[in-house]
Amino acid sequence: MTTPLNPRFNFVGIVSGDLTASLDFYRLLGVDIPQPAAGEDHVDVTFDNGMHLAFDTVELIKSIHPQWKQPTDSHRIAIAWQLDTPAQVDELYQRMADAGFGSVAPWDAPWGQRYACLRDPDGNSVDLYAWSPSDGEK
């Protein structure tokens, strides 16, 4: 009999072509990211819920996976950030759009959320959402 496995999702890694620009973007978004030491090619943030968000340079990833190639056609994933209210989605989207990161302006999605999409400096989709008051969290 095999022992049941219990995989737990707790880590997102972002490969960055410009580590400084990526860290600045996520700081503007509101993530508390430590200042890396000069020449550091990896930065890791641990959130209160135990989730990790890591940033790696292209050079580091290529040293680990020599065959790795940067996607060039479009993003492969979206990273979504939940806010408390629909108004906060609008406010944060506007702040990020004013800094040049807007992609899809906020809208009321049919699944009951106020939703918006940003693009980080590496082209990743970074989404913002809040449950509409009438729908509550699903």
Which pLDDT tens digits describe the chain residue by residue (138 residues)?
A: 688 877 788 999 999 999 999 999 999 999 999 999 888 999 999 999 999 999 999 999 999 998 988 887 777 778 999 999 999 999 999 999 999 999 999 999 989 999 999 999 988 999 999 999 875 555
DSSP H or E segment with residue 107:
strand 102-108
- For the whole model, what pTM was predicted? 0.84
**What are 116's two structure tokens?**
């918006």
The whole-angstrom distance between residue 74's C-alpha and the CA centroid of its chain comes to 15
Of 105, 114, 104, which is closest to residue 135 (Cα–Cα)? Answer: 114
**What are 97's two structure tokens?**
């759009």
Q: What is the set of domains in the chain, with CATH numbers?
A: 11-131 (3.10.180.10)
Beta-carbon contacts of 122 under 8 Å, excluding residues fewer than 6 positions away, are 14, 15, 16, 17, 18, 22
26-45: buried (b, 16+ CB within 10 Å) or exposed (e) per residue?
Answer: beebeeebeeeeeeeeebeb
